[in-house]
Amino acid sequence: MSDNIFKRILVGVDDSEDSLLALKYAIHTAKEDDSELFIASVLESNEMNVFEVLSKDFVHGERADLEKHILDYKKLAEAAGVKNVTAVVDEGQPGETIIKTIIPAVKPDLLVIGSEARKGVKKHFGSQAAYMAKYADISVMIFR
C-alpha cells in the first residue's frame, strides 16, 4: 500500500473520453490507497431547450437517467475493489456546482476531472475544467 495522501477523492464524470480516463484513475487510486471515492455528475439545464426545462417530466427523466448511469459507475468501482463509494448527482453548471456545492458537502482532498466536456461549446474550450482548476481549494488532477 502506498502512502495515502488523498483520503477522499471526488471524480467528476460526464461520459467524455477524458472523463472516463479520470474515472479509471480515481478508481485505481482509491483502491490502492483505501480512499473514499465520490463519483459526481451534474445535470446541465442549459443544454435543454426552454420547453424541456419547463417540463418537470423531462427534467425528472433526464435526472433519473443520469442517476442510473452514475450508479453503474459506482458498481464498477465497487467491483474493482473500492470499499467506500458514493454517487452524487446535482444540477446546474458543472464547474460551479462542483466547486460551490459538491466540494463543500463532500470535503474531498482531490478532485479528478477530464479536460474536455462531452458536448456543447464547452467541449472545445475546456472552460469547466479550467474553472475548477482555478477555483478549487483542493488539489485538482485533469486528464486529457
Could you tell me the domains of the chain? Answer: 8-143 (3.40.50.620)
Q: Residue 45 has what pLDDT? A: 63
- Sheet (strand 85-91) strand order: 85-91, 36-43, 8-12, 110-114, 139-143
- Give yes or no for a contact between 43 and 89, defined as CB atoms under 8 angstroms apart: yes
Cα-based distances in Å from 8 to 18, 107, 109: 21, 7, 5
**Distance (Å, whole) CA 56 – CA 48:** 12
pLDDT band for 48, please (50, 70, 90 cuts): very low
pLDDT digits (tens, 9 = 90+) for 110-130: 999 998 765 544 444 457 899
pLDDT digits (tens, 9 = 90+) for 64-119: 888 898 999 999 999 999 999 999 999 888 899 999 999 999 999 999 999 876 55
